[in-house]
Amino acid sequence: MKIRRKFNVGLIKKTLCYSTNEIAELFSIHKRTVQTLYKEGLMKIDDRKPFLVKGADLVAFIKTRQKQHKKKCEQTEMYCCKCHLPRKPLSGTVELIFINKRQIQLQAFCSICKTKIFKFIKPAKLEEYKKIFMVNKRQY
């Protein structure tokens, strides 16, 4: 689920309530995507339909999300798109893929949700990463 990073939360009136449709319009996303946001923790006033969300809760939710996106990965971590957080690779193992002379891609699986995670590094840094991860070269 993508919310444009620079979404202006100033557009949301904290004192108003927003319906699923209005939220979808606000973010230019599909209604069904808003349902996903509920599952991810966006608070509704109650479970009666149509669902309503307090503007203040909506602002808090977006701000937390934007902050999470900004959260930089430690050297030992890779960003997981599913968890929306930097994660450690499963069993510390990464696969090495040479993209070109200036870039190496490390591939691994998220230690929490098992989704594929990536990180791009400079070849000069490879030795450093070899100390942190079990680096396997991909066999073709």
Residues that bind Zn ion (CB under 5 A): 80, 82-83, 110, 112-113, 115
In the complex, residue closest to Zn ion by CB: 110
Report yes or no: 127 and 109 within 8 Å, Cβ to Cβ: no
Which residues, at least 6 apart from 32, have a Cβ–Cβ distance to it below 8 Å? Answer: none
Size of the chain in residues: 140
Report yes or no: 95 and 107 within 8 Å, Cβ to Cβ: yes
Kindly tell me which of 53 and 117 has the beta carbon lying closer to Zn ion: 117
Peptide bond into 86 cis (omega under 30): no
Kindly tell me which of 42 and 78 has the beta carbon lying closer to Zn ion: 78
Q: Least distance in Å: CB of 110 to Zn ion?
A: 3
Q: Least distance in Å: CB of 8 to Zn ion?
A: 28
Kindly tell me which of 83 and 126 has the beta carbon lying closer to Zn ion: 83
Question: Which residue type occupies 31?
Answer: K
Q: Least distance in Å: CB of 133 to Zn ion?
A: 17
Kindly tell me which of 114 and 138 has the beta carbon lying closer to Zn ion: 114
Task: Give the gyration radius of the chain's Cα atoms.
Answer: 19
Q: Least distance in Å: CB of 15 to Zn ion?
A: 36
Task: State the Cα–Cα distance between residues 8 and 6, nearest whole angstrom.
Answer: 6
Kindly tell me which of 57 and 95 has the beta carbon lying closer to Zn ion: 95
For residue 34 the two structure tokens come to 């808003």
Q: Least distance in Å: CB of 12 to Zn ion?
A: 28
